[in-house]
Structure 1
Amino acid sequence: MADFLGMMKQAAQLQSKMQEMQNELGNVEVEGISGGGLVTVRMTAKMEVKSVKIDPSLIKPEEREILEDLLVTAHADARRKAELAMQEKMQALTGGLGLPPGLGFS
């Protein structure tokens, strides 16, 4: 019975830490870049896009498709970085719990 109570206490602590981590992820920002810095996308580790910056040289009607492609690439770069930031936070959170393989969040 003591093991069960210990597990319940540990689960409650994990839930509290998970909520805390979710709040922190909203404050972690990453920047995705494409076109050698011509397009940048800033987003949080919760995948919320905060800003998009476009070099003025790209704002030409005849280069619309290039700009669209660069936006997609910059967003994908930012999303990849945000996912890595989230994984790092999760590993830091669950690292000391001694969870069996497959029960981690990474």
Structure 2
Amino acid sequence: MLKGMGGLGDMAKMMKAAGEMQGKMAQLQETLAATLVEGESGAGLVKATATAKGTLTALSIDPSIFNADEKEVVEDLILAAIKDAQEKAMEKTKEETRKLTEDMGLPPGLGLPV
């Protein structure tokens, strides 16, 4: 049917594939926003919860660490827990993006924006 029309058939396939990829990326965005990861420090005395997109959603601090003389230690533990949660969020995002690209038959390391 599209004989003699050049690559219009291939263009239609590419447009359909691009639309499917856009839908899957939107679904991945929703999944990452709903997926929670937890980082911790001080053997669990401070815990930070974040979405897989890196948004901090909760912070839990064991009251036993509150001591005015150790304010800097507490601050360091809080920062360490937040960094741990952010690193886990980044890893989860990379993992889910890798799965999506593999499922779509795209080459590894494509670096899709998430």
* TM-score normalized by the length of structure 1: 0.90
How many residues end up aligned between the 2 structures? 106
CA contact (8 A) 2:28 2:96 kept: yes
Q: Does 1:83 align with 2:90?
A: yes
Structure with the larger helix share: 1
Q: CA RMSD in A?
A: 1.6
Equivalent position amino acid for 1:74 in 2: A
The alpha-carbon deviation at position 58 of structure 1 amounts to 1.1
The alpha-carbon deviation at position 66 of structure 1 amounts to 0.3
Q: Does 1:10 align with 2:17?
A: yes
Which secondary structure does the structure 1 equivalent of 2:16 belong to? helix
Instruction: Name the CA shift for 1:55/1:102 in 2 (closer, same or farther; >3 Å).
Output: closer
Which secondary structure does the structure 1 equivalent of 2:106 belong to? coil
Aligned to 1:63: 70
Instruction: Name the CA shift for 1:102/1:56 in 2 (closer, same or farther; >3 Å).
Output: closer
Instruction: Name the CA shift for 1:94/1:101 in 2 (closer, same or farther; >3 Å).
Output: closer
Aligned to 2:46: 39
Which secondary structure does the structure 2 equivalent of 1:51 belong to? strand
Within 1, Cα distance between the matches of 2:51 and 2:61?
19
Of 8-17 and 94-103, deviating more is 94-103
The alpha-carbon deviation at position 84 of structure 1 amounts to 1.1
Q: Percent identity?
A: 42
The alpha-carbon deviation at position 55 of structure 1 amounts to 1.0
Gapped runs of 5+ residues in structure 1? none
* TM-score normalized by the length of structure 2: 0.85
